[in-house]
Amino acid sequence: MDIEKLKQWMEVAQNMNGGDFWKNIFDQDFAGQFMNDNPSGKSVGKERAPVPTFPLIEIAEGAREVIVTIELPGVKKENIELGLSGKILTVKGTNLPPHPDLKQTYTERFYGDFQRQITLPDTISPQDLTAKFWNGLLLVSYQRSIEKVDIIPID
């Protein structure tokens, strides 16, 4: 078995599932040891708690409106990029540490590049979206189009 090919496959699977793929398959210590070539299982460098999927999202649907709330604490507006392709809303960017010259001895926060794809309930055009950044929350919304349906008589 070619260990390098296996590592590449594991990294692809990890990235395709937003970072949570191996969390459910292996215990985190085992996967971390394997992916980092750290057979001891001891932490190397700064200590880091497991980080949940970043950023966290919430989708609220009404009959006439959909609002997606994306939590981006500490991220600057100019470090965020938003895109839309069909039903897939993509948010990506960079979260920089507030104190880059200090050594982190423990953190539960996520720092670095991130990307998250969100499947919307409707297919819409980018010009139908509005986005506002407020207090670390990116609020993306759109109005649902209400189509009048013509009734077709049945003979």
| Fold adopted by 57-143 | Immunoglobulin-like (2.60.40)
Residues of the chain with CATH 2.60.40.790: 57-143
Q: How far apart are CA 79 and CA 96, in angstroms?
A: 9
CA quadruple 123, 114, 51, 66: dihedral, nearest 10: -20
25-71 pLDDT tens trace: 554 454 444 445 444 444 445 565 555 689 999 999 999 999 999 99
Q: How far apart are CA 24 and CA 9, in angstroms?
A: 16
16-37 pLDDT tens trace: 555 555 555 554 454 444 445 4
Report residue 41 CA to chain centroid gap. 27
CA distances from 3 to 17, 27, 35, 67, 142 (A): 21, 19, 10, 44, 47
Q: What is the DSSP letter of 127?
A: G
